[in-house]
Amino acid sequence: MPITTFGLGPYTGTHNGNDFGLCEGPKLIETTPHGQEIRADITGDSIVDIVYRGGDVLLLITFKSWIAETRNIFWPWGAMGAMGLCGRLGTDEAHQIVLTVVPNTPAAANAFATITFPKCIIAPETSIVTPHGTVEQNVPIAFRVFPTGSLPASQAWYTTT
């Protein structure tokens, strides 16, 4: 009898509805909550509470495929090698990423069937290192995931099914 149940297994992915090919390792969701710490003079420098102030989400994926869709992901601001027009908003250039569990794997029975990120774009200050030559291509990319939704209380970075 196993100690616990694991949701192990690969996920495929699409960007803006297009398959983004092979990836290496897991796709990682990094969530960082923000809060204002509250201190009281009676407790010195001790934190007595926090005020939740939102958060940030990054999606981390290592791409292996050098196909048109991955090149669009790597540089959404224009053609590869071109600077593109400065001053545009990331939310205007962001696209949906959907991760889908591969059928007939333990993850299909024990993990999310899909994880949908409605608005993603390569995170600012992400260095894009693309190997060219007789080596395997591993291009790690960090995506900024923007919250979507109409009201602050109903906004979400991603949804799961």
* The pLDDT value given to residue 9: 83
Assign 2 a pLDDT band (cuts: 50, 70, 90): low
Give dist(CA 153, CA 145) in Å, integer.
17
* The pLDDT value given to residue 70: 84
* The pLDDT value given to residue 74: 86
Q: Sketch the domain layout of the chain as residue ranges.
A: 11-160
Q: What percent of the chain has pLDDT over 90?
A: 63
Give dist(CA 126, CA 139) in Å, integer.
11
Give dist(CA 142, CA 105) in Å, integer.
26
Helix (H, G, I), strand (E, B) or coil at 19: strand
Give dist(CA 95, CA 106) in Å, integer.
29
Helix (H, G, I), strand (E, B) or coil at 105: coil
pLDDT in tens, 77-128: 988 889 999 999 999 999 999 999 999 888 888 889 999 999 999 999 998 8
Q: When comparing pLDDT for 3 and 32, which is higher? A: 32
Nearest C-alpha neighbor of 116 from the set 147, 144, 158: 158
Quote the pTM value. 0.88
